[in-house]
């Protein structure tokens, strides 16, 4: 669990996105696109889920945004330091097959999460169209890496500071108007995924979303990550994290993800250095 490499991918007024390569003998043997790990940065820390973005023979790569306490603790670790705990691969892998033409939409740090999916979809023979959205140019990550695993590539920024001003869903609607696609896949902030689902539904294209539901154990025991899909309760960690967007109860998901927002604002009183 030693950190082998660390790279700052972006820094927006102190909120950084960091890539880390971590030593692991076992996880790379089984990890597939769409799966995640749960880690503890130190012995007093909480458990947080992060996507396995890439893997080598004896390492995995994670990319995370310093969003709050634990990701900031993680960001303080350096090459040579070790994580306290790491478990994975967790969750179902993405269903990779030759669908034909797929559009992958990613926003914010979801851009990192889309990388392994894009790579695997391309290897399976799909025509891969990627649409990335960032709030501003400085927050855009992995541009070249994703260009290299796509057949068509689009970028939008909310403030117009890079390429095209607007939202990923503007481009998605234009693409779906012009041509027929077989699958839309989205990962990013909940409002973005919900809008992607609405647009794709208008064109009757199947849409899969990868959810960032709150998770604790990641193995189906605590119930924290529960979501409603087609009126049934599912656990995002063991039944997902990917679900059919058309069947998802988006309002419930958005509400549940804000459940601890007050507590997240407080300074944690645990003895965390
Ligand atoms: C399957 C999955 C894969 C993910 N992959 C990535 C990734 O590759 N890169 C990345 O930057 N982020 C990813 N996330 C989100 C990441 O887990 C949160 O950013 C992280 O937990 C924030 O913790 P914190 O203590 O730093 O921030 P906090 O201040 O505690 O929380 C900030 C926000 O992060 C989310 N969050 C907090 N705790 C959890 C938790 N235990 N589980 C899920 N979300 C939480 C909430 O939306 C919260 O408002 C993923 C989440 C899931 C469920
Ligand atoms: S995180 Fe506990 S059941 Fe899914």
**Residue extent(s) of CATH 2.40.30.10 domains in the chain:** 3-90
Instruction: State the DSSP string of 140-200.
Output: ---HHHHHTT-SEEEEEETTSSSSEES-HHHHHHHHHHHS--SEEEEES-HHHHHHHHHHH
CA of 100 to the centre of ligand 1 (A): 32
Confidence of residue 190 (pLDDT cuts 50, 70, 90): very high
- The residues, any chain, with a CB within 8 Å of residue 124's CB and separated by 6 or more, are 96, 97, 98
Q: Is any ligand 1 atom within 6 A of the Cβ of residue 241?
A: yes
Beta strands 152-157 and 127-134 are parallel
Say how many Å lie between the CA of residue 187 and the centre of ligand 2: 19
Contact by Cβ (8 Å): 33, 96: yes
Residue 264 three-state SS = helix
Please tell me the predicted confidence (pLDDT) of residue 207: 97
For the CA of 225, the nearest ligand: 2
Predicted structure pTM score: 0.93
When the candidates are 3.40.50.80, 2.60.40.10, 3.40.50.261, 2.40.50.100, the CATH number that belongs to 94-203 is 3.40.50.80
Radius of gyration of the chain, Cα coordinates, nearest whole angstrom: 18
Full DSSP string of 40-96:
ESSTTPPPEEEE--EE-SSEEEEEEE--SHHHHHHHH--TT-B-SEEEEEESPPP--
The pair of three-digit structure tokens given for residue 254, joined into one six-digit string: 């958005």
CA of 238 to the centre of ligand 2 (A): 7
Q: Phi/psi at 129 (nearest 5 deg)?
A: -110, 125
Residue 202: CB atoms within 10 Å: 11
Give the architecture-level CATH label for domain 3-90.
Answer: Beta Barrel (2.40)
pLDDT at 175: 97
| CA 165 to ligand 2 centroid distance, Å | 37
Task: Please give the pLDDT value at position 152.
Answer: 96
- State the closest ligand 1 atom to the C-alpha of 62, by its place in the atom list counted from 1: 8
Q: pLDDT band at residue 256, thresholds of 50, 70 and 90?
A: confident
Tell the burial category of 46 from Cβ atoms under 10 Å away from its Cβ (0-12, 13-18, 19+): middle
* pLDDT for position 272: 53
pLDDT the model gives residue 257:
81
Residues 76-86 have pLDDT tens digits of: 999 999 999 99
How confident is the model at residue 254, as a pLDDT? Answer: 87
DSSP state of 265: H
- Locate the ligand 2 atom nearest the alpha carbon of residue 220 and give its number: 3
pLDDT in tens, 227-238: 999 999 999 999
Which residues in the chain are classed under CATH 3.40.50.80?
94-203
> What is the pLDDT averaged over residues 88-104?
97
Q: Which atom of ligand 1 is nearest to the CA of 241?
A: 1
The confidence band for 14, taking pLDDT boundaries of 50, 70 and 90, is confident
Closest Cα to atom 20 of ligand 1: 48
pLDDT one-digit tens code per residue, 23-74: 999 999 999 999 999 999 998 888 999 999 999 999 999 999 998 889 999 9
Q: In terms of Cα–Cα distance, which of 167, 160, 163, 204 is closest to 182? A: 204
209 lines ligand 1 (CB under 6 A): no
Percent of the chain scoring above 70 in pLDDT: 96
**Contact residues of ligand 2, CB 6 A cut-off:** 215-218, 220-225, 235-237
On average, the pLDDT of the chain sits at 93
């Amino acid at each position: 669990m030693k950190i082998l490499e660390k790279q700052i991918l972006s820094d927006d007024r102190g909120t950084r996105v960091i890539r880390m390569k971590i030593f692991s003998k076992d996880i790379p043997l089984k990890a597939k696109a769409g799966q995640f790990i749960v880690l503890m940065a130190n012995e007093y820390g909480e458990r947080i889920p992060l996507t396995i973005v890439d893997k080598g023979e004896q390492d995995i790569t994670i990319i995370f945004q310093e969003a709050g306490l634990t990701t900031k603790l993680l960001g303080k670790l350096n090459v040579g330091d070790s994580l306290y705990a790491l478990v994975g691969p967790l969750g179902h892998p993405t269903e990779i097959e030759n669908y034909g033409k797929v559009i992958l939409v990613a926003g914010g740090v979801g851009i990192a999460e889309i990388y392994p999916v894009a790579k695997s979809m391309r290897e399976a023979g799909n025509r891969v169209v990627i649409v990335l959205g960032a709030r501003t140019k400085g927050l855009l990550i992995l541009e070249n890496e994703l260009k290299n695993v796509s057949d068509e590539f689009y970028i939008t920024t909310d403030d117009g500071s890079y390429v095209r001003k607007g939202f990923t869903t503007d481009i998605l609607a234009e693409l779906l108007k012009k041509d027929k696609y077989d699958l839309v896949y989205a990962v990013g902030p909940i409002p973005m995924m919900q809008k992607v689902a609405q647009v794709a539904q208008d064109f009757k294209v199947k849409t899969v979303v990868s959810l960032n539901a709150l998770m604790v154990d990641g193995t189906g025991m605590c119930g924290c990550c529960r979501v409603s899909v087609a009126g049934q309760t599912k656990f995002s960690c063991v039944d997902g994290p990917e679900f059919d967007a058309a069947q998802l109860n988006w309002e419930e998901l958005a509400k549940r993800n804000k459940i601890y927002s007050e507590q997240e604002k407080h300074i944690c009183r645990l003895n965390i250095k």
